[in-house]
């Protein structure tokens, strides 16, 4: 497997997932300044010209959530994804999609000081944080004691939020981030 990677990008999330899976993989460094993510060769892997992208034999996977879903199913022994037919599967898929369709754009609006518009399909960041707190319940993870790829997708967003230097405003979510950072394979941005 090859992960197309830049340490200053969302590819760090896919790398975290690969490491939690115990996968063997090769890093293909992508230099944004040289626009290596816009070459005809790379666009055959990810037509959107963005990181992360994963190649596994004949399979080409792009979009961070899709990569984590793919790996969760490919490495059942890592137990990072409820299996098809398991009662947790529906909620797991919902949280995986929620991470990039609601949480990430809502957080982006707030960090970039963009006016939220409900017509765009995602809630305001405060509402999203309420949802995540509710889904976390008593934790420690989104599925209780069971750490899954949903924690990687959702938790990584709050790790990015910290990097922006925004003041901690939700103790429950901050404590969750601390638990995730304590994992040996936790996402390392910029490395």
Ligand X SMILES: N[C@@H](CCC(=O)N[C@@H](CS)C(=O)NCC(=O)O)C(=O)O
User: By the criterion CB under 6 A, which residues form the site for ligand X?
Assistant: 9-10, 37, 49-52, 63-64, 100
Distance CA 69, CA 165 (A): 29
Between 13 and 80, CB nearer to ligand X: 13
Please list the residues that pair with 143 across neighbouring strands.
146
* Smallest gap from residue 100 Cβ to ligand X (A): 5
Tell me the C-alpha distance between 61 and 147, whole Å.
Answer: 23
Q: What is the dihedral of CA 105, 109, 110, 112, to 10 degrees?
A: 120
Shortest separation between residue 140's beta carbon and ligand X, angstroms: 25
Q: Could you give phi then psi for residue 137, rounded to 5 degrees? A: 50, -130
Nearer to ligand X, 38 or 83 (CB): 38
H or E segment to which residue 183 belongs: none
Q: Which secondary-structure segment (H or E) carries 154?
A: helix 149-163
Contact present, 1 and 23 (Cβ < 8 Å): yes
By beta-carbon proximity to ligand X, the closer residue of 43 and 86 is 43
Give least dist CB 52 to ligand X, A. 6
The minimum distance between CB 184 and ligand X, in angstroms, equals 24
Describe the crossing of helices 171-181 and 125-136 by its angle, rounded to 10 degrees.
60
Find the shortest distance in angstroms from Cβ 143 to ligand X. Answer: 22
Q: How far apart are the first and last CA of the chain?
A: 20
Cα distance between residue 145 and residue 52, in whole Å: 28
Q: Kindly tell me which of 61 and 173 has the beta carbon lying closer to ligand X.
A: 61
Nearer to ligand X, 64 or 155 (CB): 64
Pick 50 or 129: Cβ nearer ligand X: 50
Least distance (Å) between residue 45 CB and ligand X? 12
């Amino acid at each position: 497997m090859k992960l197309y990677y830049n340490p200053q990008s969302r590819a760090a999330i896919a790398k975290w997932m690969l490491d939690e899976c115990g996968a063997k993989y090769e890093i293909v460094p992508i230099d944004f300044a040289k626009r290596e993510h816009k070459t005809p060769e790379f666009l055959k892997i990810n037509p959107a010209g963005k990181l992360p992208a994963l190649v596994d034999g004949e399979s080409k996977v792009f979009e961070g959530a899709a990569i984590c879903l793919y790996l969760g199913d490919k490495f059942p022994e890592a137990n990072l994804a409820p299996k098809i037919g398991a009662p947790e599967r529906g909620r797991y898929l919902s949280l995986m999609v929620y991470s990039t369709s609601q949480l990430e754009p809502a957080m982006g609006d707030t960090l970039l000081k963009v006016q939220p518009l409900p017509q765009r399909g995602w809630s305001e960041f405060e509402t999203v944080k309420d949802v995540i707190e509710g889904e976390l319940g008593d934790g420690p993870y989104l599925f209780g004691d069971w750490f899954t790829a949903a924690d990687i997708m959702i938790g990584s967003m709050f790790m990015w939020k910290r990097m922006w230097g925004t003041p901690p405003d939700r103790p429950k979510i901050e404590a969750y981030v601390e638990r995730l950072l304590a994992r040996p394979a936790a996402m390392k941005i910029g490395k």
